Chains A and B, each alone.
Chain A
Amino acid sequence: MVDPHLLFEQLFNGIQYGILLFLLAAGLTLVFGIMDLMNLAHGSLYMLGAYIAATVTLAADSFLLGIAVALPATLFVGILLEVIVLRKLYDRGHLDQVLATFGMILFFNELVRLIWGPAGIEVPLPVVLNASLTLFDIPLPVYRILVIGVGLAVAAFLYVLVVKTKVGMLIRAGASNREMVGALGIDIKKVFTLVFGLGAALAALAGVMAGPIFAATIGMGENILIQVLVVIVIGGIGSIRGAFVGALLIGVIEILGRSFLDDLFKLFLPVNAAETAAPAAASMLIYILMAGVLFFRPQGLFPARSG
């Protein structure tokens, strides 16, 4: 039967993965909710963050320096994208936005291949973080605990920013009525650029932290982007709270599904059939969940627009 230690360990890994998804989903859902912009290139910023951090980390032998360079660099690229292209797309249909940002994905993937080559980069863990804490006889890697800590801090920061500050007020006002905020003398374009930059920095942060866990590879952005989209759909577009709950849910289901679904299937299927069906079913699990959520709540679990 299922080993409780293993279950706990995988639950922990699932939460950590969920936190990673949250960092991406938070930026994307804000951009979605406030600017009504479908940005597929969000995953490219994540990839860019991971590659820049990996290069600096390896060259300078300092993970901290990697973060210190990758975040502002990606922030800069994000703002550049917003000012040059995306700004012109706010008033366009979603199809135009999808296509233009799809073009960006092609561009960035090829750019990374040109600069760094087709092979990925393994990022070594800083020695300090390469340890484990033991809780109830279960070793928990310090690095993963750190990732969860950073994610929770970001969640708290975003909550305070959006709900308690003047900038947050402008963000929410801009989301509900762009023209009116502009008419009141506020430079709404600046607010949009700021929000987009914030999203880019969060994507880079996720990329940096993913480096030592998954390595930096071309296409890493798209694979996770699809899962992030599922998170946003489940959570409700534009809702940070929805993104947080959705991300943890998807992270845990994804990891637990891969680890335990074959054991579960073996309870009522022959061993052979279970071993064939389990990986297939595990990879479909989150999409089935999404279809289910949509069937009962088409606007997601925490619809932001209505409330």
Chain B
Amino acid sequence: MSLSRETIVVIITFALLAIVPFIASLTEVPFYLDLGRRMMILAIGALSLNLIMGYGGMISFGHAVFVGIGAYVVGICAEHEIVSGFIQWPLALIVCAAFAFIFGAISLRTRGVYFIMITLALAQMMYFLGVSLDRYGGDDGLPLIEPSNFSGLIDLSEKTSLYYLVFVLLLLCLWICKRLVNSRFGMVIQGARSNEARMQAIGFPTYRYQLTAFVIAGAMAGLAGVLLANHTDFVNPDMMHWTRSGDLIIMVLLGGMGSLAGPVVGALVFILLEEALSGITEYWQLIFGPFLILVVLFARGGLLGFLEKRKTSEGEGD
């Protein structure tokens, strides 16, 4: 039995991520720990977007809004001296799911380009709301006085524990995505992407299925937000800005849309590129922008898609 290239890439990726804390302490560069954690948190966000975009064909250009809402729930709770993670975290997921339900219910009434624009506009609305919330820092954001407290179970101010918590949660999210995609529910979602009318004709209420997927993705992105707030000790409206949503889309596409682990690889590559390019020049987006255009024009299917393509051309594909 041979493993697929995708599986091999995933195993290598996670093995590398698992040893990052050791490398960081060996080389005494704590920045690596920080970098690895940020990669994995964004990977959770990208995974959740891939659920609706890659498998469901729902191109949301406002997905970062749920990351932001999740982070804000943690920040606002801490501001009111509710620091218990047992309250903060479930509350954040519920709030994100509720927002995703409302936003999804509105935007799923439309299709195609309208859907893109509406998700974008709704996210910007929340961004401006965050900016105008003077009580919670407004434009400047809200410092997190202390991380979520799990009363002795795990200490999140200890950066390595937080790292491995994120690591485990990323694996958990990947597992959930795998189960979802291969379930009957996942089949309906993918069926609706290919041919919605036909799915309806054979009796599936596609709107309800799509809305459910949207809510699940929103809650998962909220988890990324909760982790992000604990990672940066800081919450600000910029987390919801539409360019952050654009970043998430880029990660999904870089890795390969609609491949299970693609977004994880994409998030890693995105952060590495950002670091490498901004090391070369302060004006790194001058390079990154055209790079993005080239990826769209010539590398459809992303990195994992590229690997799969090579596999097929070698004649061992399905």
Residues of A close to B296: CB separation below 8 A = 89, 92, 96, 99-100, 103
Instruction: With both chains docked as a complex, state the minimum distance between the C-beta of B247 and any C-beta of chain A, in angstroms.
Output: 9
Residues of B close to A88: CB separation below 8 A = 297
Instruction: With both chains docked as a complex, state the minimum distance between the C-beta of A80 and any C-beta of chain B, in angstroms.
Output: 13
In the complex, identify which listed stretch (A49-57, A124-132, A140-148, A224-232) lies at the interface while the others stay far away: A224-232
B285 touches A107 (CB 8 A): yes
- Interface presence of B110 (CB below 8 A): yes
The residue of chain A having its C-beta at the shortest distance from the C-beta of B117 within the complex is A229
Instruction: With both chains docked as a complex, state the minimum distance between the C-beta of A257 and any C-beta of chain B, in angstroms.
Output: 12
Residues of A close to B125: CB separation below 8 A = 283-284, 287-288
Residues of A close to B80: CB separation below 8 A = none
A237 touches B113 (CB 8 A): yes
A99 touches B253 (CB 8 A): yes
B118 touches A294 (CB 8 A): yes
Interface string of B230-248 (1 = CB under 8 A from A): 0000000000001100100
The residue of chain A having its C-beta at the shortest distance from the C-beta of B300 within the complex is A96
Residues of B close to A295: CB separation below 8 A = 106, 109
Instruction: With both chains docked as a complex, state the minimum distance between the C-beta of B112 and any C-beta of chain A, in angstroms.
Output: 6
The residue of chain A having its C-beta at the shortest distance from the C-beta of B124 within the complex is A226
The residue of chain A having its C-beta at the shortest distance from the C-beta of B107 within the complex is A294
Decide yes or no: A103 and B291 within 8 Å by CB, A283-B128, A295-B106 being known contacts.
Answer: yes
- Interface presence of B135 (CB below 8 A): yes
Residues of B close to A102: CB separation below 8 A = 246, 249-250, 292
- Give the size range of A's interface with the partner: 35 or more
Residues of B close to A98: CB separation below 8 A = 59, 61, 116, 249
- Alpha-carbon gap, A284 to B114, bound state (A): 19
Decide yes or no: A233 and B124 within 8 Å by CB, A113-B283, A114-B286 being known contacts.
Answer: no
Residues of chain B in range 98-124 having any CB-CB distance to chain A below 8 Å: 106, 109-110, 112-114, 116-118, 120-122, 124
Instruction: With both chains docked as a complex, state the minimum distance between the C-beta of A91 and any C-beta of chain B, in angstroms.
Output: 12
- Give the size range of B's interface with the partner: 35 or more
- Interface presence of B185 (CB below 8 A): no
- Interface presence of A279 (CB below 8 A): yes
- Alpha-carbon gap, A286 to B109, bound state (A): 18
Residues of A close to B134: CB separation below 8 A = 276
Which of A100, A103, A233 has its CB near the most chain B CB atoms (within 10 A)?
A103
Residues of chain B in range 286-309 having any CB-CB distance to chain A below 8 Å: 286, 288-293, 295-297, 300
- Alpha-carbon gap, A88 to B283, bound state (A): 27
A104 touches B114 (CB 8 A): no
Q: Which of the residues A237, A287, A291 comes within 8 Å of B124, measured between beta carbons? A: A287
Residues of B close to A92: CB separation below 8 A = 296
Interface string of A261-281 (1 = CB under 8 A from B): 000000000000000100110
- Interface presence of B272 (CB below 8 A): no
The residue of chain B having its C-beta at the shortest distance from the C-beta of A37 within the complex is B113
A100 touches B133 (CB 8 A): no
A226 touches B116 (CB 8 A): no
Interface string of A76-112 (1 = CB under 8 A from B): 0000000001001100101110111011111111110
- Alpha-carbon gap, A110 to B285, bound state (A): 6
A294 touches B132 (CB 8 A): no
- Alpha-carbon gap, A298 to B133, bound state (A): 31
Residues of A close to B135: CB separation below 8 A = 276
Decide yes or no: A111 and B117 within 8 Å by CB, A100-B297, A102-B246, A295-B109 being known contacts.
Answer: no
Residues of A close to B293: CB separation below 8 A = 85, 100, 103-104
- Alpha-carbon gap, A288 to B102, bound state (A): 12
Residues of chain A in range 27-53 having any CB-CB distance to chain B below 8 Å: 32, 36, 38
- Interface presence of A222 (CB below 8 A): yes
- Interface presence of B145 (CB below 8 A): no
A226 touches B121 (CB 8 A): yes
Known contacts A94-B112, A95-B257, A290-B121, then 17 further A-B pairs from the complex at CB < 8 Å, ordered by chain A residue: A85-B293, A94-B113, A94-B116, A95-B59, A99-B292, A99-B296, A105-B289, A110-B285, A111-B286, A114-B283, A229-B117, A237-B114, A276-B134, A283-B131, A288-B125, A290-B118, A298-B110
Using CB atoms and an 8 Å cutoff, list the residues of chain B in contact with chain A.
53, 59, 61, 106, 109-110, 112-114, 116-118, 120-122, 124-125, 128-129, 131-135, 242-243, 246, 249-250, 253, 257, 283-286, 288-293, 295-297, 300
